Amino acid sequence: MKMKRIVFSMAFFLIFTAANAQQKITWTFAAKKLADNQYEIHIKATPPIGWHIYSQLTPAGGPVPTSFSFNANALTVIVGKVSEKGKLVSYFDKNFKVDVKYFEGVVDFVQKVTVKGKLKTNLSGEVESMICNDRTCMPPTTEKFNVLLN
């Protein structure tokens, strides 16, 4: 009987671990040309169904907010801050004791960029994010990106 419990416990653990290991964000990165030397970089996050990603504006003390870092490139100028487009939900989270802001479904993070001159170049960097559902959270992850501007 004890052996059955051990086998059952191990099987349950492996199934739970495998199911949670697959819960990650699908990222897409694209550039949209606005004018001769101006672009919008679209960084689109698609969390698994039932999971959500946090806004950049989630306050300290709460879950890890989504954040962006852009690598230095002498041919580009970052214009303003990254904007967020998606279904934003805000509520007071009793666990974190802060007003949490997250997106349901797909969210499009948009950064405007100016390219100096008419040269082909790229914008690269990293996005750090965290996803949760109504029961648990996955550890924060970092995704590198590289978007061509031409």
- The answer to whether residue 94 sits within a structural domain is yes
Task: Look at residue 95 in the predicted model and tell me its pLDDT.
Answer: 82
Average pLDDT taken over every residue of the chain: 87
User: Does any domain span residue 5?
Assistant: no
For the chain, the domain total comes to 1
Tell whether 78 is covered by a domain.
yes
State the amino acid at position 129 in one-letter form: S
Percent of the chain past pLDDT 90, that is, above it, reads: 72
Q: What is the CATH number of the domain that holds 55?
A: 2.60.40.1250
In-domain check, residue 49: yes
In a domain, 7, yes or no: no
Residue 138 falls inside a structural domain = yes
140 domain residue, yes or no: yes
Read off the pLDDT of residues 17-71 as tens digits, 9 standing for 90 and up.
444 455 899 999 999 999 889 999 999 999 999 999 999 999 998 899 999 999 9
Nearest to 133 by CA among 89, 97, 98, 99: 89
Q: Is residue 20 part of a domain?
A: no
pLDDT tens for 54-64 read 999 999 988 99
* Sign for the pseudo-dihedral over CA of 20, 96, 65, 86: positive
Residue 67 belongs to domain spanning: 25-149
pLDDT tens track for 71-104: 999 999 999 999 999 999 999 988 889 999 999 9
